[in-house]
Chains A and B, each alone.
Chain A
Amino acid sequence: MGIASTVAGRLARRRRQLASAAFVAVALGTVGTLYAAFAPTGEAATNADPAVQRGQALYARGCSSCHGLNGGGGQRAPSLIGVGAASVDFQVGTGRMPLREHGPQAPRKRPSYDEQQTLDLAAYIASLGAGPAIPSFSESDWQKADTAYGGALFRTNCAQCHNFAGSGGALTFGKYAPSLSKATPTQIYEAMITGPENMPVFGDKEITPDQKLAIIKYVRTLKTQGNPGGFGLGQIGPVPETMVGWLVGIGLLVLVTLWIGARA
C-alpha cells in the first residue's frame, strides 16, 4: 500500500517533468525556428566557402551550446557576431576557448583545436559579421622594428598591467594580466586589436601597425635576451627580489643557526 502509492506519486511527478520538458523544447524550437527565419544571418548559412562550412560544423559541435546556434550569444556567453577572425584566432589559438570553467578569467591552456580547425572557426565567425581580420605579417616585418621605440610604447600602453618585462600582474577581483612569455607575435597583435576579455582595445589609429610591430619586437626581445646568471624571479622587480632575499635568505640563516645551536 505504502510502496504502491509512493511509486504512483513518483510516476506522476515524472510525467509532469516530462510534460514540462517537452513544452520547453517545443517552445524553444518554435522561437529558434522563427528567429532563424528572421535573423539576418542567411548569407552565413549559404556561404559556399568550404572553410566557413567546416568552421560552422566545428562551431555547432563545440561552441554553440554557450554562444548560440548562430553565434548570437546566450546567457552564459557573449555574442560572436562582429568579433572578427582575429578574436577567434586569439581565443581558440591560446586555448582560452573553449572555456573549461566559469571564473574571473579564462586561463591560457593547450589549444583544443589544431591550426587548421582554428582558422576554419575564425572564417565562420568572420562570415557572421565584419570584425578585425587575422593580421598577416612575417617575422622579418617585426624583426626590423625599433626595439627601443617598442619599449617606450610598451611602457606607456602595456606595462601598467603586463609589467615592464611582460611578466603580467594582478588586476581586480581575481582577474589578472597574463604573462606575455608564451604569446606569439600574431597573438600579441591580435590581443591589441581585439582587446580580449578585460584588456582595452588598441586600434590601428591609436597604435599604428608599425608601432604594434615595434611593441612585438620589444616583447620578443624580452623573451630571447640573455640572462647574466642568477634567478630572474620572473623579472617582476626589486620588491619581490628583496622580499625573497630577506625571507628565504634570512630564513635559511635562522634555520641553520637553530640547527647548529640545537645539536651543540
Chain B
Amino acid sequence: MSDNEKDDEAPRTAHEASGSVFERMKHPTTTGGEPRERGRSASARDIEGEVLERGGMAPDVPEKVRPARKIGRRQPLTEKAAAAEAAAYSVPTDEEGSHVVPPEAYAVDHDPAQVDPREERFAEAQVSALFALTALGVIATCVGYLVIDPHRNLGRNINYVIGGGLTVALLALGAGFCLWAKKLLPHGMAVQKRGPHHSPEEEQLASEETFFAGVTQMGLGSRKMLRRSLLGALALLPVPAVLLLRDLGPLPHSRLRHTGWKKGSRLVDVETKLPIKLGDIEVGGIATVMPEGFGNVEDHALAPTILIRFAPGEIRSKKEVAWGADNHVAYSKICSHAGCPISLYEQQTHHLLCPCHQSTFDMADDANVIFGPAARRLPQLKIQVDGDGYFVAQGDYSQPVGPSFWERG
C-alpha cells in the first residue's frame, strides 16, 4: 500500500516493466503497446511470485521487479525443494540427452563370494527345464492340430490339445522368467530419478512473448477485411456438424402412440398366429398375443400383449375387470420402464416380472408397480369376446405403450 503510494510510476511486475503484450496486441500502432489498466489479469498483482532469473527479458527491467505468478504457473518452491530439484537436474545425461539411472542404482546387495555355485547351477537347470517344457507344449500344439480329426467328438479333442498345449507353453515360459529373475538376477533396489517436467520460467515467459508478438504481427486489429472474413468462415464451420444431426431422424411423429391394435382386431397367438377363443387359456394361464394379420413382430414392436386368465374374483381392480372379458385381461407386454418384453408371470402371486431391471407389476391390481424402476402401470388393452367366441380388441391402447419419450406428456 505504502509502496504503491511512494513509487506510483515504478513498474510492479515484469509485464508492466516490459510493456504488456496484451496491450501491444490491442494497440499495435496507435499507442505503441503502451500498457493500460484495462484487460490485465485480475490476479496478476495480487499473487506473490517467486524470484526468477530473467534471462530472456528486456535489459532495462529493474532488478526489484518480480514477475507475478499467473494461473497455471507452479507455486514457489521451498529452499529445500529447490535444492532437491537442482540436485535432480545435476544427474548426468547420456548421449541422447535423457536422464540415466545413476551408477549406484546398479549396486549389487549380495556378495558374489557367498553364492553357492551348486545352487546357481540347479536354478539354471530349473529355468532351462521350464523353457524346454515351453518347447514341448508348442510342439504338442502343432502336432495335435495336424494329427487330430477336428470333427471328432464335437471338436472337443482338438480344442483340449490346442488349448492345453498353449497353456502349458505360455505358463512354463512365464514361470521360467519368474524363476530366472528370482534365483539368478541380483536383487538390488534401483531408483530412477525424474527431473521436473515443466519448462524453466524464462522459457515460459519467452514463449508468451513470442506468441503474443506473433498475434500482434498478424494485425487482426488493423486488417478489418481479414478479420471479418476469418470470423465469417469460422462461424460457418459448425454448420455441417449441426446439419448432419438431421440423420438422427426422421421424427417418429405419432408412431409411438399407435401399436397396430384396431377395434375388432382378433387376438392371435404370436407363434401359431391362430386366434384365441374363450376357453383356450386355462385359469392361471397366459398367452402372448398380437393383432390378427400382423406380419412380423419387428414391424409391430409395440403391439405384443400378454393375455392372462384369472380365476373368478381374483382381480382386485374394478377398471381391470371392466376392460377385460370373462376374467381374461390383456396388458401391454412392453415394460413401461425401458421397453423390454415382459412375460415372467407368476400365477399364484399374479406378479409380472421384467427380466431387465426387475420391475414387478401386480397384474391383479391393474398392473400396479410394486417393485423396480418402472414409473407407470402397464397399459391395459380393452378386450371383449365376439359372436364366435374369439377375443377381440375394442380399440388401440388408450395411452402410449412402452417407455417414456419426450413428447409423451
Same complex for A and B? Answer yes
Q: Which of B284, B347, B349 contacts A172 (CB 8 A)?
A: B349
Contacts A171-B353, A172-B349, A264-B181 given; indicate if A195 touches B155 (C-beta within 8 A): no
Whether, in the assembled complex, A232 has its beta carbon less than 8 Å from a beta carbon of chain B, the answer is no
Q: Give the residue name and chain of the A residue nearest to B355 (CB).
A: A160
Query: 8 Å CB contacts to B: which residues of A229-264?
Result: 229-230, 260, 263-264
Q: How distant is A96 from chain B, measured CB to nearest CB, in Å?
A: 14
Q: Assess whether A227 is interfacial by the CB under 8 Å rule.
A: yes
Task: Say yes or no for B404: interface residue by CB 8 A criterion.
Answer: no
Determine the residue in chain B with the shortest Cβ distance to A199: B347
Cβ of B88 < 8 Å from any Cβ of A?
Answer: no
The interface-forming segment of A42-50, A183-191, A202-210 is A202-210
Q: Is A198's CB under 8 angstroms from B346's CB?
A: yes
Whether A195 contacts B182 by the Cβ 8 Å rule is: no
Q: Is B169 an interface residue (CB 8 A)?
A: no
Q: A228-B154, A229-B155 are in contact. Are A201 and B348 (CB under 8 A)?
A: no
Given known A206-B285, A226-B156, A229-B159, contact A201–B349 (CB-CB < 8 A): no
Q: Give Cα A200–Cα B286 distance, bound, in whole angstroms.
A: 6
Interface: B314 (CB within 8 A): no
Instruction: Say whether B154 contacts A205, CB under 8 Å.
Output: no
| Among B154, B281, B283, B288, contact of A226 (Cβ-Cβ < 8 Å) | B154
**Nearest-Cβ distance from residue B286 to partner chain A, whole angstroms:** 5
- B274-317 interface with A by 8 A CB criterion: 276-277, 279-288
A206 touches which of B160, B187, B281, B360 (Cβ 8 Å): B281
Contacts of A197 in B (CB 8 A): 348
B159/A228 in contact, CB under 8 A:
yes
Contact B182 A198, beta carbon cutoff 8 Å: no
Q: Which residue of A has the minimal Cβ distance to B333?
A: A160
Verify if B22 is at the interface (C-beta below 8 Å from A).
Answer: no
What is the interface size of chain A, counting residues whose CB is below 8 A from a CB of the partner?
31
Q: Which residues of A contact B282 (CB under 8 A)?
A: 195, 201-203, 206
Q: Are B154 and A160 in contact (CB under 8 A)?
A: no
Tell me the bound Cα distance from A202 to B344 in angstroms: 14
In chain B, what residue has the closest Cβ to A263? B182
- Tell me whether B160 and A171 are in contact (CB under 8 A): no
CA distance A198 to B352 in the complex (A): 11
B211, CB-defined interface residue at 8 Å = no
Contact A206 B284 (CB under 8 A): no
Task: Specify which of A173, A177, A206, A227 is in contact with B280 (CB 8 Å cutoff).
Answer: A206
| Residues in chain A near residue B351, CB distance under 8 A | 171-173
Interface pair B344/A195, CB less than 8 Å apart: no
B270 at interface by CB-CB < 8 Å: yes
Q: Interface residues of B toward A: which range? A: 35 or more
State whether A229 touches B160 (Cβ < 8 A).
yes
Interchain CA distance A153-B345 in the complex, whole Å? 17
B271 within 8 Å of A (CB atoms): yes
**A153 vs B283: C-alpha distance when bound (angstroms):** 20
Q: Report chain A residues within 8 Å CB of B156.
A: 226-229
- Tell me the bound Cα distance from A192 to B271 in angstroms: 17
Which residue of B has the minimal Cβ distance to A104?
B349
A214 CB → nearest B CB, Å: 11
Q: Is A156 an interface residue (CB 8 A)?
A: yes
What are the residues of chain A within 8 A of B343 when measuring CB–CB? 160
How many whole Å from A103's CB to the nearest CB in chain B?
14
Looking across the interface, which residue of chain B has its beta carbon closest to that of A156?
A: B271
Q: Which of A161, A200, A227 has the most CB of B within 10 A?
A: A200
Report how far A199 CA is from B347 CA in the complex, Å.
6
Contact with A along B348-366 (1 / 0, CB 8 A): 1101010100101000000
Residues of the B chain whose Cβ atoms lie less than 8 Å from the Cβ of A226: 153-154, 156
Compute how far the CA of A172 lies from the CA of B349 in the bound complex, rounded to whole angstroms: 9
B51 within 8 Å of A (CB atoms): no
Alpha-carbon gap, A153 to B287, bound state (A): 12
Chain A CB within 8 A of B178 CB: yes
Contact for A200 among B154, B280, B284, CB less than 8 A: B284
Q: How far is the CB of B60 from chain A (nearest CB, A)?
A: 59
Nearest CB of chain B from residue A182's CB, rounded to whole Å: 21
CB within 8 Å of A: which B329-383 residues: 341-349, 351, 353, 355, 358, 360, 371
The contact string, 1 if C-beta is below 8 Å from chain B, for chain A 136-156, is 000000000000000011001
> How many angstroms between the C-alpha atoms of A69 and B283 in the bound complex?
26
B288 to chain A: which residues have CB within 8 Å? 156-157
5 closest Cβ pairs, A-B complex = A198-B346, A203-B282, A201-B282, A229-B159, A201-B285
What would 19 more interface pairs be, CB under 8 Å, given A173-B351, A227-B156? A171-B346, A172-B346, A172-B349, A175-B346, A195-B347, A197-B348, A198-B347, A199-B347, A200-B347, A201-B283, A203-B280, A205-B281, A226-B153, A229-B154, A229-B155, A229-B156, A229-B160, A264-B182, A264-B187
A: which residues have CB within 8 A of B?
Answer: 152-153, 156-157, 160-161, 169, 171-173, 175, 177, 195, 197-203, 205-206, 211, 226-230, 260, 263-264
Interface residues of B (CB under 8 A from A): 153-156, 159-160, 163, 178, 181-182, 187, 269-272, 276-277, 279-288, 341-349, 351, 353, 355, 358, 360, 371
Pairs across A and B, CB under 8 Å, 19 listed: A157-B271, A160-B343, A161-B344, A169-B355, A171-B353, A172-B346, A173-B349, A173-B351, A195-B347, A197-B348, A198-B347, A201-B282, A205-B280, A226-B156, A228-B155, A229-B155, A260-B178, A263-B182, A264-B181
